[in-house]
Structure 1
Amino acid sequence: MTPSDNDIRAVRAHAQLLGAPATDVVSVTRSVTAIQAQSSPAARLAIRARSRGLTAPDVDVSRAVSRTWLMRKTLHLVPTADLRWLNRLFGPRNAQAGQGRRRQLDLTDELCERALERLQDLLPGKALTRREILDGLAADGVVLDAKSQAPAHLLAYAANRGLLCRGQDDGAEPTYVLLDEWTTGDHTPDEPLAELAHRYLSAYGIATVEDFAAWSGLPLGLCRKGFDALDLVPAGGGFALSETGLSASPCPPCLLGAFDTYLLGYRDRDLLLDPAEAKRVNAGGGMIAPTVLVDGRIAGTWNAKRTAKQTKVVVEPFATLSRAAISGLESEVDDYGRFLGETAVLVI
C-alpha cells in the first residue's frame, strides 16, 4: 500500500497521540520519546494536546518525567527512567560540541572541573536554583557573571557529564538536582541507538533518516545505523516500523504549543506546513510559534491574551476555517482553559 499525503499526516498525528490521547504524563512523554522543554509552558501544552483530564500542576509535580539537555543540545522532557541511557548517548557528544562556546565564555576546562567538584558538595539532598548555585560556587572562588550565558552553559555541561539534571521548578525558577539522587535504577537498552531509532519512528510514524538526524542532532551515518537495525517498510518516501498501520482516521482540530514535537520531528515540513506560510510559524531565531492543526496540517497560529476576567485565545488562520474546524477549536479552547485553570474563549 502506498499511503497518500492525507494518510501520512493522519498516521503521524495518530503516532503523536493527537487523535488518541493518553491519561497520564509519563505515557504521553514516552509515546513521543521526548518533548522540547526550554520553555516550561510550551512543554506543558505539548502534554495537554496529547492527554485527557490532566492539568498543568499534574505535569509540574510529576517526578516520572524529567528535564535535561539531550537532542540537539537542547533541554528536553523525557521519562525519568530513560534519563541515564539517553544521557550516555547524547551527553559526551554534547559536551564535546559545546567546548568552543565554553571557551568563548571563559569556561576553561580547569574552571569547569573545579565547578563540578564544588557542585558535588553543594547539591546532595538539595534542589538549588541557578542563583543559589552561583552563590555557592562564588564562595569557593568560582565566580561567574549571572547576566552572561556562562552559567547556563556550565549547568548544561554538568548535565552532559551526568552529574545533574533539572528538578522541579521553584515557582518560576528552575532548580537543579544530582542525577544520582533524582533517578532510581539504571536500565540501559542493549542497543541504545537502535532503541532511540525505534522510539523515534514509533512517535513520528513515517519519516526519513534525514528527519531522524534533524530531530536527534546525531550524525547522519549513526542515524542510518539506527534505522538499519530495525525491521522497516518503505512508506511515503521514507520508512515506517513494520508494525505501523499506514492509514488512520484524521485527527480532530488541535491547539499546539510553541516548539511542538509534531513540527520538530521532521527536517522536511512541507507536508505539514505550506512553505508559503512557514515564516509565520518560524520567523527565525529558532522560535516555533504556537500553531493550529486541522486535518493534520498547520492551518494557522495562535496566542493567548490574558485579562483579569478571562483569557482570549486568538487564532490567526491562514485561510477561512470550516464550521467543523471552528467547533473543534472551541472545544480545544475549553480544554486549554480547564488545563490551566482559567476561563478561556476563542477569538478568530
Structure 2
Amino acid sequence: MSTVLTDHHLRVMRLRAQMLTGPPAEDAGRAVLGAAGLQAQDVRAVRLAVRARTAGLTAGDVRGAVARERSVVCTWAMRGTLHMVAAADVGWLVDLLGPVYSARGRRRRLELGIDDCTAERGLAAIRDVLAGGRALSRAELVAELAAEGVPIETEGQAPAHMVAFAAMRGVICRGPEREDEEPTYVLLRDWVGPWEPRSPESAQAELVRRYLAAYGPATPADFRAWSGLPARAVRQGWDSVSGELAEVATSAGAAWMLGGTRIPDQADGEPVGEPVGGGPRVRLLGAYDTYLLGHRGRDLVLPPGYARRIQAGGGVVHPVLLVDGEVVAKWRRERRAGAVAVEPFTRLAPAVLTELEKEVADLGRFLEMSTNLQVADS
C-alpha cells in the first residue's frame, strides 16, 4: 500500500524539492540544476528565482553566472519558453526539446513571412554573423541578417520567432546582458563548448528524473504539462524509469517520486525544512516562478478563489508570497521608494509578518538597495 500524503505535507515536499526550504543551493548553477531549470522570459524575475533558492548571493552574482562563469544559460527549452538551465545540460535539452517546438512554431513563422527556405538561410547567416565570439542584440542580429540577404520584418513578432527558431535548432543562446539589461545572442557551441549527444530515449528518461527530483511527488500529466513533450514521449520516458519510482497517495490520487525521497513523518508532524527557531516558511517569489508552473494545476498551492489575482490572463504570472507552500498574497516592488508592496488575500498572522520582514530585508540585500515592507489592508 502506498504512503498517504496530506495536502500540507505534499506542499512541504515540493517546497523542499524546489529548494525553497531546507538547505539552500550553494550558487546559481546549483540552484538552476536543482530546480530543473528556471523560467527566464523576465531577466529580473529569474534572478529573484535564484535568490529564493540560495543564500548570500546578489543579483550581480547571478549576472556573473551567465556572463563570466557561464555555468547557466538562457535558451528556449521546456514548453518552448525561455528558461535558465545548467550549461552542462543545455546541449541535450535543446537536442530533445528543440525539434518539438521548432516544428510547432512553423505555422506561426509562415504567418510572419518566415518560410522554410528563409528560416534555413537565416540559420546559415546567423552562424556567419556571430562567428568569432560576437554577441549581438536581437535588433542588431536582424539588421545583419538583412545585410546578408535574409530580410526579416523588423516590426511585430518576426524577429522574436526567428531568434527562437535559431535557439531551438541549437545554433544560438542568450549571451551576456548589456548594462541596460538588454539580452544579447551568441553561438551556442562557442559559448558552452561541445556536448555528448544522448539518444532520445536516454534524454527522455533523464528529463523525467530531473523533473521528479525538482517537482515530485507528481504525475505523468504534470510532467507533460511542465515539459510540453508529446504524450508518446512522456509515456516512453516515464515507463523507462518506472522501476526507480515510489508511489504515494494524495487527495488528488496517485503520484510518484524518485525512490529514496524522504517523506515527512506525518504522525509526528515533522516540520521538514522548518526555519531555525520554528515559525512559518515564508518566501517572496518573483514573477513566473517555476514553483507555480511545474504541475498541471495550481489548486494545491493557489486557492482557486484567488487564482485570477495571480494570473488574470495574457500569460502573466505575478510575484507571490508563499507561506508554508501556499500562495497568500501578491506583491510588487516600487523601485523609486524601495517599497515591497504586499497585497494579502486575508490578514497575515504576526508570525508571518515577522518572517516576511526578514524576506524583504534579504531582497534588499540581494538587490543591493534599501527596501521596506508595505502591507495593504486585506
- Bin of the TM-score, shorter chain as denominator length: over 0.9
Q: How far apart are 1:83 and its partner, in Å?
A: 0.8
- Using the alignment, how far apart are the partners of 1:337 and 1:98 within structure 2? 40
Question: Which residue number corresponds to residue 41 of structure 2?
Answer: 38
Q: Residue 298 in 1 paired to residue 323 in 2?
A: no
- CA deviation profile, 1:240-262 (whole Å, cap 9, x unmatched): 11111122345720000000011
Q: Residue 233 in 1 paired to residue 233 in 2?
A: no
- Using the alignment, how far apart are the partners of 2:96 and 2:138 within structure 1? 26
Percent identical residues: 45
Q: 3-state SS of the aligned residue for 1:346?
A: strand
Alignment counterpart, residue 58 of structure 1, candidates 61, 84, 101? 61
Q: 3-state SS of the aligned residue for 1:240?
A: strand
Report runs of 4+ in structure 1 exceeding 4 Å deviation: none
Q: How far apart are 1:120 and its partner, in Å?
A: 1.3
C-alpha contact 1:144 1:150 (8 A) present in aligned 2 = yes
Q: How far apart are 1:141 and its partner, in Å?
A: 2.4
- CA deviation profile, 1:82-104 (whole Å, cap 9, x unmatched): 11100000011111000000000
Question: Which residue number corresponds to residue 72 of structure 1?
Answer: 79
Question: Which residue number corresponds to residue 267 of structure 1?
Answer: 296
Q: Residue 341 in 1 paired to residue 368 in 2?
A: yes
Q: How far apart are 1:170 and its partner, in Å?
A: 1.5
Q: 3-state SS of the aligned residue for 1:315?
A: strand
C-alpha contact 2:114 2:152 (8 A) present in aligned 1 = no
Q: How does 1:1-348 map to 2 (within 5 A)?
A: 1-20=3-22, 21-62=24-65, 63-124=70-131, 125-171=133-179, 172-188=181-197, 191-230=202-241, 231-235=244-248, 236=250, 237-247=254-264, 248-249=272-273, 252-307=281-336, 310-348=337-375
- CA deviation profile, 1:120-159 (whole Å, cap 9, x unmatched): 1110121111122122111122222322100110011111
**Aligned-CA RMSD value:** 1.3
Greater displacement, 218-227 / 208-217: 218-227
Q: TM-score, normalised by structure 1?
A: 0.97
Q: Which amino acid aligns with 2:255?
A: G
Q: How far apart are 1:208 and its partner, in Å?
A: 1.0
Greater displacement, 101-110 / 169-178: 169-178
- CA deviation profile, 1:252-301 (whole Å, cap 9, x unmatched): 20000000011100112111110111101111111111000001100110
**Aligned pair count?**
346
- CA deviation profile, 1:55-91 (whole Å, cap 9, x unmatched): 1011112110001111111011000111110000001
Q: Which amino acid aligns with 1:234?
A: E
- Using the alignment, how far apart are the partners of 1:265 and 1:11 within structure 2? 14
Q: 3-state SS of the aligned residue for 1:168?
A: strand
- CA deviation profile, 1:39-63 (whole Å, cap 9, x unmatched): 1011000000010010101111211
- Using the alignment, how far apart are the partners of 1:215 and 1:188 within structure 2? 23
Q: How far apart are 1:331 and its partner, in Å?
A: 0.4
- Using the alignment, how far apart are the partners of 1:193 and 1:345 within structure 2? 45
- Using the alignment, how far apart are the partners of 2:39 and 2:325 within structure 1? 20
Q: TM-score, normalised by structure 2?
A: 0.89
- Using the alignment, how far apart are the partners of 1:108 and 1:177 within structure 2? 23
